[in-house]
Structure 1
Amino acid sequence: MAKESFQYRETESLFQQLEDVSQRSSVSRGQAFEDFLHAVVCSLGHPRMEEEYLDMIARHTDGPKGERGCDKLAEMFGQLVAIMDRTRQDVLGDLFQGAITYGERGQFMTPEPVCQMMARLNLPVEDTGLEGRRTVNDPCCGSGRMLTASAELQPHWHFIGQDIDLRCVRMTAINLALRNHYGHVVWGNTLAVEAKLIYETGRLQLWGNAIRKVGRLPVPDREAQLVDVTPPSNADRPEAAESVDGPQANSEPPSRQLRLF
């Protein structure tokens, strides 16, 4: 097995706790990580996801109280919140890449400074507030780094993430929920317009839950922006009135596509 490698030093302590869960509950490291993500989502979705939580946590309840896997999962959750509050770093994505997948199937997380640069290149820097809310979509969201980088600039916008990997969907939901950002995270193949599961974050309900399951994505409350991409006909060109024997006869029609090469 490849050696673990982390970008953030805080991830190492989270990894040691994950290994402890794996040993105490006699499950693989990958299973322990999936159960940890599931436990956190269910905790943030309490009480609506209580039955789901109890079904999952059953394999972590063997042993004396205080030494069970479920006890360590609770400690791990507390440590995750403390690290994120202190550093604002995506330690979940770092742990996922550095100790679970090792880049399997090309699952390398975009470095957070690159995400921040891309957000600044594409979004207004000044906070537009609720009145100027727009939607940001990442069709292959991973752990949600592109969305959280966008939220640093525009915290009031609507963030949508989609991914075919349920682990990534739950990481993104956790990262948005713990930062109290309004968004939706969809489990499914984006290219096939698939939605097996949708989590909504950032709207605290009467029960106090920060994550909930919903049946659909909300329709944007603004008109779609229509862009005319029809190429102009020769009759619309000023030079069309000139003689076909002139120098313009063999020229290409003006293009509305930016030339890159």
Structure 2
Amino acid sequence: MWNFKGERNVEKNFIDYHMMSINEPEFTNTQVYDHQPRQIQGNSDYPLVDLDYVLDQSNPFEAVLANRYSAREPFKGNVVVNRALLARFTQLAMIGGSKENRTYPSGGAQYYVDTYFLFNEDLLDQQIVKQGNIMRLNSDTHKLMVKQYQPWDEISKAFIQKYLVNSAQFTIVLSCDVTSISKKYTDISYKLVQQEAGHIGQNIQLVANYLGLESVPLGGFYDIELSKLLGDNQTSLYAFLLG
């Protein structure tokens, strides 16, 4: 059992807990599992309440929910990724315009999860990547901060699904600084950042569908390698490929 209460070094326990579940290249063969079809759940002998409803495809919100899916084939790249699209994407999925709170919930409105964009310089508008292709989103100032440049060939090494990453226009990585997340919520902070990453991830998928982008959420990345690309003492939590 993991018990963070009463510990003087809570951050170390977060890190140890996280490291128990990371992917490493030398363990890939044992960490990638054969797909198991989901078993449809039965109703047993319980009394039932019928919830049948036909989603209204003429309603934009219902259509986005109904048509959300995770890409399984190489990305087609049907949408031009430029500054205007990125501005619209980030405002809808994360920033939320001029209001104080963002478009996703966060425990105590602390917003501990950081968002990084890593761009494939070969497949999108060159004006975006002329100063670098690894950027951190600042939702408070509505800006992408250009951190550094790494060739997409190097970035792709951090991902297991090569057939997807090679055709992606960019990836979004959600991360946090595990040495600072315990300041307010101490022992439950790690749980809260995981929940926050899930909220952002659902927004990413829905907004991508709304804007015509394909997307796929991934656990299939090498944690240490991806975190090194981000820098800033970040620990990768969740990643998405888009194209």
TM-score, normalisation: structure 1: 0.25
The structure whose residues are more often helix, as a share, is: 1
Q: TM-score, normalised by structure 2?
A: 0.26
Larger radius of gyration: 1
